[in-house]
Amino acid sequence: MSPAPGGDGEQARTDLNSIISWFVRSFKYLYGLRFEVKGRQKLAVDHPCVIISNHQSILDMMGLMEILPERCVQIAKRELLFTGPVGLIMYLGGVFFINRQRSRTAMTVMAEVGERMTQEKLKVWIYPEGTRNDNGDLLPFKKGAFYLAVQSQVPIIPVVYSSFSSFYNPRTKSFTSGTIKVEILDAIPTSGLTVDDIPQLMDTCHKAMRTTFFHLSSTPQENGAAAGPGAQPAQ
């Protein structure tokens, strides 16, 4: 599990995030990567919320550290815990790991996250696509982030990264210098919503993020298979 809430655990997470941020920023400048961020102030809130963003590659970590707000924890799939130094850093940084193959375990972790989120006024960062995706579009969303937000009655703040395709090759893991555009969208409230409203909430968030993704990437939006959260079963 993650470090204990509050006290030394909270300070350790803050200190580690600062160290990781320093290394990430140094790497960014060394390799000529630039970030243009719009709407950064929308993450500077003092209440709990769920932050969702698209997920293309490990380079997302640089974008995350570029705008990571205070008192923010992440949720990631359990497989990442066993990826050597990266997994160790994520564990020490307070990441909550979910075993997607065991629904009861995942539900237990999400319930714990929801309780801590409201009690400690945490922000929780989740990648709703559920996996990395470099197909030039957004994958359908999984339901977990939206259940968490609705059950806790906290707003959702979407974050969108532009496509990395112009400077990054995910198959060879090679990249050249380039600019990544990041836009933080307006918060989407969940007050008064119930589980029955989740499909519509998912659709609203997906459409807003997909439209922004194509705009930031300067590519035409197509009505493909990934056009909405209902295109594949959500988990």
* Residues 71-121: tens digit of each pLDDT: 888 776 656 555 565 555 555 555 666 665 555 666 677 788 888 889 989
**Residue 132 pLDDT class (50, 70, 90 cuts):** confident
DSSP state of 188: B
Residue 148 has pLDDT above 90, yes or no: yes
Which CA distances in Å does 77 have to 14, 98, 182, 198, 225? 22, 5, 23, 22, 24
Averaged pLDDT for residues 3-24 = 54
Pairing of strands 33-38, 168-169: unpaired
State the pLDDT at residue 187: 98
Q: Note the pLDDT of residue 74.
A: 79
Task: Report the alpha-carbon distance of residue 91 to residue 45 in Å, rounded.
Answer: 25
* Dihedral sign (CA 111, 113, 156, 75): negative
**Model confidence at 232: pLDDT above 60:** no
- Nearest one of 109, 142, 95, 115 to 48, comparing CA atoms: 115
CA distance 201 to 230: 12
Residue linked to tokens 């590519």: 219
Looking at the predicted structure, is the pLDDT value of residue 233 above 50? Answer: no
pLDDT confidence bin for 193, thresholds 50/70/90: very high
The pair of structure tokens assigned to 70 is: 């205070």
Q: How confident is the model at residue 219 (pLDDT cuts 50, 70, 90)?
A: confident
* Domains in the chain with CATH codes: 7-220 (3.40.1130.10)
Q: What is the mean pLDDT of residues 197-223?
A: 91
